[in-house]
Structure 1
Amino acid sequence: MRDINQFTITEAVKKSFRTEEGSRFKFLLESLIDHLHDYTRETNLTHEEWMRVLMFLYDCGKISTPERHEFILLSDVLGFSALVDMINTRGGATEGSNLGPFYLDNAPRKPLGADLAGPRQGVSVLCHGVVRDTLGHPIPGAIVDTWQADGSGTYPIQEEGQDKYDLRGLFEADDQGRYYYTTILPKPYTVPYDGPVGELLRAGDRHSWRASHLHYMIRAEGMRGIVTEVFFENTEYVDNDAVFGVRRSLIAKLEPYKAAKAGDFPLERQPDAMINFDFVLAPGD
């Protein structure tokens, strides 16, 4: 390697990895090296600039915790998360959207009709719909995992002294593929602005507001699971979401609650409003 220069170093680095020929890992790694080296040459990156990048990444790791994932947030605000969702959405299935930094495993299982809000104040909303396959058949037993911010735009996980599993729940669709529960209408909120990603947004003169949304992770045996969000029509930031999460197909209409229109669901709490949103899963690989 004595004779490498700024133009030959890329191939030298790729050849130094003895990865299996034709493997997906080899393809991804070599493409990443190509693009990083090309970026460095195209921008004439200085030592000071590269060190600033490295320290930025260090700061992202330093502020991250099991409850706060700064690298996911970075991926979100740069549009990478949205792009991966778009590329990986199967034809006919519900479009994917951002996981976000506040997902937790092992959310409590809830019976259909449960209320996730508890004593929290806000507009009570019935969320209901059917989980189907791409042929339109209901999927009994599908798992609907949901989480959200509260009526002030805060996730319970962000509040000291609060149960981090508040406003979260796992529901199992009934024999007609239906899910239904009540919660409170989440408000818009800013993505975490006190860390390196917030610094990046300020440097780029970008706002940090997310449109009101509900998070969902839907899965069923033999089907390809989805991670997505449901937004509300005619609400603030729905057309300029900070993490590029909104899709036209993911916008639901918020209506006044009418039992006759919603269906005769046994509910723990009488709602003020309702949304109807069906999820569609594609067959698994």
Structure 2
Amino acid sequence: MRNLTPTSITQAFADYARDAPSERTRTLLVGLAGHLHSFVRENKVTQAEWDAAIGALTRATEFTDDKRNEYILFSDLLGVSSLVDMINTAGSGTPSSVLGPFHIEGAPELPNGGDLWKGQVGEPLVVSGRVTDGKGAPAAGTVLALWQNGGNGLYAQQDPAHSPTNYHARLTVADDGSFAFSTVRPVSYTVPDDGPAGDMLRALGRHAWRPAHLHMIVHAPGHRPLITEFFPEDDKYLDADAVFGVRAGLVLPFRKVTDRGALPAALAARDSLPMPVWAATIDLTLPPA
């Protein structure tokens, strides 16, 4: 198209894509280009500013490998990952949240009532609960994918002192939907901020902290996987999560338990679990199938 103007270029892009084989792909990319064009026009973006943006994306490749993805980090810190999650979440059941960058497939099996803590650094935490469907029936056959950081603030992928599956597990709930396990109380930590995504945080005067949390993916027969995370109600970063992952329904009391008899039976019998311990109850309600 000849004689393009700052206004007509947006329609020109849409016209060029009229023969796209996928209408959905055309809708998404034409919409994206339109928003980008509007952003450039409204903010009168300079050549130097655009070069800086391209440079940040180029630098992101230097920080991306099989353990870290700087582009996902940008998405998280911009709130896009959380927004995609929220607009696609079910309207009922336990809320979902962002996946996070440290989930691994093929984690070791953990028996119901098993231990992830193993005496490592940090305060032991007992987690118990029940998984039910939307009608209150136990969700037998449900498998929980569990992962979290250690008491030193590091995930297994960041900590060469431990195995690559440390604090990662898959647990099958009992026939009545109940589950229990012991682990370490998670701690607040900072997302990686040594790359261009961190530069963006500093340019905005933002911090890189996430509140402590437990990750979980709920795999239940006849239901979509539920990706979520749970936060202790006393964490000081709940209202300033760098990746916008906190939901009101995912904030839980973590309480101190001094009486071993108050623990789930499978854990009360374990003498290696020192008292007192922290305890949290997580009752999950699955969204509709």
Aligned-partner SS, 1:278? strand
Residues 1:8 and 2:11 aligned together: no
Mapped contact 1:252–1:275 kept (Cα < 8 A): yes
Amino acid at match of 2:288: P
Note the residue ranges of structure 2 that are not aligned, 5 or more in a row.
none
Mapped contact 2:121–2:152 kept (Cα < 8 A): no
Amino acid at match of 2:286: L
Distance in 2 between the 1:77 and 1:47 partners?
24
Alignment of 1:1-285 (within 5 A): 1-17=1-17, 18-20=19-21, 23-257=23-257, 258-266=259-267, 269-270=272-273, 272-284=277-289
State the shift of 1:260 in Å.
4.7
When structure 1 is superposed on structure 2, of 10-19 and 73-82 the one drifting more is 10-19
Mapped contact 1:222–1:283 kept (Cα < 8 A): no
The alignment covers a number of residue pairs equal to 283
Distance in 2 between the 1:179 and 1:16 partners?
55
Give CA-to-partner distance per residue, 1:70-105, whole Å, 9 cap, x none.
112111111112212221221212111121122222
Distance in 2 between the 1:32 and 1:279 partners?
36
Note the residue ranges of structure 1 that are not aligned, 5 or more in a row.
none
Deviant stretches of 4+, over 4 Å: 258-262, 266-269
Distance in 1 between the 2:195 and 2:189 partners?
16
State the shift of 1:130 in Å.
1.1
TM-score (norm 1): 0.93
Mapped contact 2:128–2:264 kept (Cα < 8 A): no
Q: CA RMSD in A?
A: 1.8
Amino acid at match of 1:220: A
State the shift of 1:7 in Å.
1.4
State the shift of 1:217 in Å.
1.1
TM-score (norm 2): 0.92
Distance in 2 between the 1:251 and 1:194 partners?
29
